[in-house]
Amino acid sequence: MGSNAETRRSGCPISCSLDLLGDKWSLLIVRDMVMLRKHYFKEFLASAEGIATNILTDRLNRLEGSGIISKQPDPENRRQIVYTLTEKGVALIPVLVELMSWGKIYAGTTSVDRDKARRMQQDRRYKQRVIRELTEGCTSTPGRS
Amino acid sequence: MGSNAETRRSGCPISCSLDLLGDKWSLLIVRDMVMLRKHYFKEFLASAEGIATNILTDRLNRLEGSGIISKQPDPENRRQIVYTLTEKGVALIPVLVELMSWGKIYAGTTSVDRDKARRMQQDRRYKQRVIRELTEGCTSTPGRS
């Protein structure tokens, strides 16, 4: 499902967002770029969730098609493509932070302190700081960290 | 894809959230309950996006299976089922608000004032108030408004 008016299910902005992002993988690629500073196909492929090559290719094309990421030849190796977030992609950070916050409490992750997660869920200033720091990280010069 | 450890792709809380919510319809049903105060199968079916009956049945079962919604016989008509959000479902309101905020600016909705949407996107206190009001609306006695 694409991004233009013909393929929108309705004018509701939540529905329009899900037209672009409503699948199990797109936001994980954005997460990889925001939180793990990944920029290369091979890096996305190596993420813990084990995305298949064809799905990754499809999702990168869709994310580029909807203006969430852009791709350029890597300046250090022009046979390689480097993927970066656009302003539209960076603006998804608050969505990621809320999904992370909800997931820590409710989605059955075992690796976190749930009480601490609940305190963070309530703490808007903490979330705001996380969003600001991640945004700054994404809008500085891209590259492997 | 279910909610328990066997079907989780990784321990990442964003990935775990998307295991439950990563599709085009689940969060629209939650939106219907939060923002449009819908509680009945027929009401969800009538939403602008035109969900198919079999998909709606599947998503309601999954949302109930993962503890995001619960269902009871309608006290006013016991042959009818009424769906309500659980605490876990109500806790998704910040995710919806961020998807709405992002969609208003970036997902090609035409019906909104984009400058106003940008100001709201920056205004954490405004978002916090929206989240609080929606949460209060969802935790008061359910029913048609």
Cβ proximity of A99 and B13 under 8 Å: yes
Least Cα separation, residue A38 to chain B (angstroms): 16
Structural Rg of chain A based on CA atoms? 16
Of all residues in chain B, the percent with pLDDT exceeding 70 is 90
CB atoms within 10 A of CB A11: 15
* Total CB pairs under 8 A between chain A and B: 170
Based on the fold, state whether residues A58 and A78 are members of the same structural domain. yes
Based on the fold, state whether residues A105 and A125 are members of the same structural domain. yes
- A144 part of a folded domain: no
Q: How many domains does chain B have?
A: 2
Q: Cβ B13–A49 below 8 Å, yes or no?
A: no
Coil, helix or strand for B91? coil
Based on the fold, state whether residues A71 and A28 are members of the same structural domain. yes
Based on the fold, state whether residues A68 and A109 are members of the same structural domain. no
Based on the fold, state whether residues A16 and A71 are members of the same structural domain. yes
Tens digits of residue pLDDT in A16-41: 999 999 999 999 999 999 999 999 99
Residue B139 has pLDDT above 50, yes or no: yes
- A112 part of a folded domain: yes
Based on the fold, state whether residues A22 and A65 are members of the same structural domain. yes
pLDDT of residue B145: 39
User: Among all chains, which residue has been given the structure tokens 């899900």?
Assistant: A18
Based on the fold, state whether residues A75 and A36 are members of the same structural domain. yes
With vertex at residue B15, the alpha carbon angle to CA A130 and CA B58, rounded to the nearest 5 degrees, is 130
The helix or strand, by DSSP H or E, that contains position A112, with its residue range, turns out to be none
Q: Alpha helix locations (H) across chain A?
A: 13-21, 26-35, 41-45, 53-65, 87-90, 93-106, 114-122, 124-139
Q: Which domain holds residue B75?
A: 12-86
- B59 part of a folded domain: yes
CB atoms within 10 A of CB A20: 27
Tens digits of residue pLDDT in B9-50: 999 999 999 999 999 999 999 999 999 999 999 999 999 999
Based on the fold, state whether residues B79 and B127 are members of the same structural domain. no
List the single residue in B13, B104, B128 with the smallest CB-CB distance to A104. B13
pLDDT of residue B112: 63
Based on the fold, state whether residues B81 and B16 are members of the same structural domain. yes
Exposure string over B108-125, b if 16+ CB within 10 A, otherwise e = bbeeeeeeebeebbeeee
User: Among all chains, which residue has been given the structure tokens 């006013």?
Assistant: B76
Average pLDDT, rounded, for chain B? 88
Which residues in chain A have Cβ-Cβ distances shorter than 8 Å to B50? 9
Q: Cβ B105–A124 below 8 Å, yes or no?
A: no
Which ipTM score applies to this complex? 0.89
Based on the fold, state whether residues B82 and B16 are members of the same structural domain. yes
Based on the fold, state whether residues B70 and B116 are members of the same structural domain. no
- B6 part of a folded domain: no
Look up the pTM and report it: 0.89
